[in-house]
Structure 1
Amino acid sequence: MLWSTLIFGLSFSLPAHGDVTKDRDDRLKTAVILDTPTTGASTTPDGRAFLKLARVDGTTGSQVVEIVGDDYTLIPYPNEEWNSWNASTDSAADSERKYVSTNAQRVGPDGNLWVIDSGDLQNFSNSSKLISFNLTTNEVERIYYLGDATTKDGSINDVRFNGKYACLTEYTIGSIIVLDLETGDARMVLREHKSTVALMPLSAEGHFLRTQSTGELEYIHADQEEVSPDGKYFYYQPAIGYMWRIETKYLNDALKNDTTAELLPNYVEPFSLTPSTGGSAIDAQGNIYYSDGDRQEIRILAPNGTTTLLVRDERLLWVDAIWLDTKQRLWLCASQLNRGNRFLQPNNQSTTIEKPIYVYNIDVGHSPPRLDHA
């Protein structure tokens, strides 16, 4: 198999603090050790921690779990029933009250745990949903069914909050979904716009990735997203990079205004020439932290568009969704997603994932924005 390599002609300056080396950086502290990959952690201010497990290593089991105890015990969240989806035996009604194909989870500004289930819209029309769990009662507070907004070919990826509105990236078509959290109204916008569609295939560890089932190059469209701490801008990009931004007032108005929705491309502007990225987070100062899947790096993108290197470490293998907690620590899930059974591996191996799987912390000296998460 012929691998192609992505090279970005970018230069980055090192931060003044810390001793950054190519192979290992002592600022990285182990937070969790796992037997299966995770593509996202989130925490509450009082110390509860949750993970989205990615079954790309051939294992089966829960998709969303809570970490309990010092031995990293994983408890299905909110229970085993929600995590018990079986496509062969479950019904359409089951698809509305179980995780079908979760893609992300995060603690929102309201203190609830929000789970993004891209579902299986080819077979179950109400399986694509955004679920809000009350972390006091551990019960469902509300479910937003998004099948009408995404269409059967769409797959929601992640969510960010801005007051009464939420924005979700959709990665198989390439679009943004705007959701009114009060009314439940949702609309797909910027469908197949140049800012939401990947120009190049996904890349990791210096190679383009190919789908294992077909051998075709993998394109992941609108993926990473953040809202500025003042709520003015929505930042987003395809997984291969090239970050864009748009003022949120236009997105919010487009939810119910056909004219604004049609004019949205006029308000989109390029923001940064980012690389192939697994995940991102934003702090209260508006700095965006993002992973570089080719170089095992975490970089900081300042509000003025300049970029610096935070950490480079060979252990940061495909860091997916990044989380910034109230103790000013980034949670970095080294998912090794690119080495899993979703993608074609060298020598016809099903996976090349090396276990155990690690989640790391690194102090950054900044807090998360209250606008988007607790």
Structure 2
Amino acid sequence: MLVSHLLFGLSLALFAQGYSSKDHDDRIKTALAMDTSATGASTTPDGRVFLILPHVDGTTGPKIVEVVGSKHTLVPYPNVQWNSWKASTDSAADAGTKYVSTNAQRVGPDGNLWVVDSGIPSQFLNSSKLVSFNLTTNEVERIYYLGDVVTKDGLLNDVRFNGKFAYLTEYAIGSIIVLDLETGDARMVLRGDTSTVAVIPDSADGQFLISSTTGQPQYIHADHLEVSPDGRYFYYQPGSGYMWRLETKYLNEALHNKTTADLLPTYTKPFSLTPATGGTAIDAEGNIYYSDIDRHEIRYIAPNRITALLVRDSRLEWVDAMWVDNHQRLWMCASQLNRGDLFVQPNNQPSTITKPVYIYTIDIGHNPSPIDHA
């Protein structure tokens, strides 16, 4: 079958050599061992831990959870109701007040928990949203409905903050969303731009990924994003790599100035030749960490563009969204996303994820960026 050959027989020439991974690096510590994948962890200064669960391994249940107690119980956050979406029975109104298709969660600089719900905008525009939860009351503080901005063809991916602005990647078309957190005004920019569109399919373990839905190579457009600690630069890239940089002053101005929005492609600059990437994070020094999902590595890019290896370990199977906590640790969810039901597996198996699924940490000696999260 052609699809099987594409996924399991096609080696990327770019990575044809030097594919060995160290089996075990003693600096890596296990934070959690679970029976389902997590694609992102975030923490609060007082030790609360939140996860996003993609359920790509046949499991069901809540999408956003808090890890509670010494037994690490996964509790639906903020409650069961928000995690109770059922496509077969729920209404358009429900789509605005439940998680429909969550893509990211993170504690923001304001101390709130922010959840990105890409939703199903082709059916329910109000399902595409950014939700802020007050972690003191555990109640919704504000919902930003973005369906009119992403349109029925777009899908929200992740979010970062810069003062009163939030920036979101949109991965189906390939674009950036600029959002004013005070007014709720938002605009899509860089739609279909060279910097937001993947030029090759995503890959993992040295092989192109094949969508289990379409049977075609999987392209993931605008995906990873970070903001420099001084708020000056916005970094972003497609899933398959090649990181770009843009001064935030242009991005912010583009929200209300169409001329500036149209000129944004002239302000974008290549920043780093990154590989296929599972997730990123940034520290207080401006080092950007990224996971190389072909080589099972975590590398980091200094502000001067010099790249260095942090760790290589065979256990780092598709490390997704990363997190720098207040104890100078980098959290790494080894999600095994490439082995889940999103992609074609050997012998058409629904999933080849090996359990337990681990979330690891490693000391990096740097604090989180002060504008990234509390």
Report the TM-score, using the length of structure 1 for normalisation: 0.96
Paired residue for 2:170? Answer: 170
Partner SS for 1:252: helix
Alpha-carbon distance between aligned partners in 1 of 2:185 and 2:373, rounded to the nearest angstrom: 22
**CA displacement, residues 180-222 of structure 1 (integer Å, 9 cap, x when unaligned):** 0000000000000010000100100111000112211000000
Query: Which structure 2 segments of 5+ residues have no match?
Result: none
Residue from 1, 9, 12 that aligns with 1:6: 12
The reply on whether 1:96 has 2:102 as its aligned counterpart is: no
- Partner residue in 1 for 2:201: 201
- Displacement after TM superposition at 1:368 (Å): 0.4
Provide the residue aligned with 2:114 in structure 1.
114
Match runs of 1:172-251 below 5 Å: 172-251=172-251
2:21–2:314 contact (8 Å) kept in structure 1: no
1:61 and 2:61 are equivalent in the alignment: yes
Q: Does 1:354 align with 2:360?
A: no
Note closer, same or farther for the CA distance 1:10–1:132 as it changes in structure 2 (3 Å cut).
farther
Number of the residue aligned with 2:129 = 129
Question: Following superposition of structure 1 onto structure 2, how do residues 26-105 of structure 1 map, counting pairs within 5 Å?
Answer: 26-105=26-105
Matches of 1:97 and 1:369, distance apart in 2: 31
Letter in 1 for 2:25: D
Quote the offset at 1:294 in angstroms: 0.3
Q: Which amino acid aligns with 1:68?
A: V
The Cα offsets for residues 314-336 of structure 1, whole Å up to 9 and x where unpaired, read as: 00000000000000001100000
Residue 150 (structure 2) pairs with residue 150 (structure 1): yes
CA distance in 1, matches of 2:76, 2:134: 15
Q: What is residue 273 of structure 2 aligned with on the other side?
A: 273
TM-aligned CA deviation for residue 8 of structure 1? 4.3
Which residue does 1:294 correspond to in 2?
294
Deviation at 1:21, TM superposition (A): 7.0
- Tell me, what secondary structure is at the counterpart of 1:126? helix
SS in 2 for 1:82: helix
What secondary structure is seen at the aligned counterpart in 1 of 2:277? coil
Could you say if the C-alpha distance between residues 10 and 328 of structure 1 is closer, same or farther in structure 2, counting changes exceeding 3 Å? farther
- 1:8/1:275 contact within 8 Å kept: no
Whether the aligned pair in 2 keeps the contact of 1:33 and 1:72 (CA below 8 Å) is no
Partner deviation per Cα, 1:271-322 (whole Å, 9 max, x = no partner): 0000000000000100000000001100011111111100000000000000
Distance 1:5 1:172 in 2: 25
The letter of the residue matching 2:349 is: Q
Tell me how many residue pairs correspond in the alignment. 367
Given that residues 167 and 177 in structure 2 are in contact (C-alpha distance below 8 angstroms), is that contact kept between their aligned partners in structure 1?
A: yes
Give the direction of change, closer, same or farther, for the CA distance of 1:11–1:45 in structure 2 (3 Å limit). Answer: farther
Q: CA RMSD in A?
A: 1.5
Structure 2 CA distance for partners of 1:336 and 1:9, relative to 1, 3 Å: closer
Counterpart in the other structure of 2:314: 314
**Letter of the 2:364 counterpart:** V
Deviations 1:24-76 (A, max 9, x none): 10100000111110000000000000000011001111000000112110000
**Partner SS for 2:263:** helix
Q: Which amino acid aligns with 1:29?
A: K
The answer to whether the Cα contact below 8 Å between 1:39 and 1:52 also exists between their aligned partners in 2 is yes
Change (3 A) 1:208 1:11: closer
Confirm whether residue 304 of structure 1 aligns to residue 310 of structure 2.
Answer: no
Structure 2 counterpart SS, 1:23: coil
State the 1:7 CA deviation. 4.8
Q: Which amino acid aligns with 1:369?
A: S
- TM-score, structure 2 normalization: 0.96
Runs of 5+ unmatched residues, structure 1: 13-19
Whichever structure has more helix as a proportion of its residues is: 2
Measured in 2, the distance between the counterparts of 1:119 and 1:21 equals 37
Range with greater deviation from structure 2 (66-75 or 106-115): 66-75
Supply the distance in 2 between the matched residues of 1:297 and 1:278 (Cα, whole angstroms). 10
Q: 1:91 is matched by which residue type in structure 2? A: S
Report if aligned partners of 1:36, 1:53 keep a CA contact under 8 Å in 2: yes
Alignment partners' CA distance in 2, 1:267 and 1:310: 31
Q: Per-residue deviation at 1:11? A: 12
The structural deviation recorded for 1:370 is 1.0
Distance 2:109 2:334 in 1: 25
| Letter paired with 2:180 | D
Shift of 1:5: 2.6
Instruction: Classify the secondary structure of the residue corresponding to 1:210.
Output: coil
Tell me, yes or no, if the aligned pair for 1:65 and 1:74 is still in contact at 8 Å. Answer: yes
In the TM superposition, what is the alpha-carbon distance from 1:346 to its structure 2 partner?
1.1
The secondary structure found in structure 1 opposite 2:82 is coil
Contact 1:56-1:341 at 8 Å conserved across structures: yes
Q: Given that residues 340 and 353 in structure 2 are in contact (C-alpha distance below 8 angstroms), is that contact kept between their aligned partners in structure 1?
A: yes
Matched residues in 2 for 1:332 and 1:201: separation? 23
d(CA) in 1 for partners of 2:213, 2:170:
22
The amino acid that maps onto 1:306 is I
Change (3 A) 1:229 1:318: same
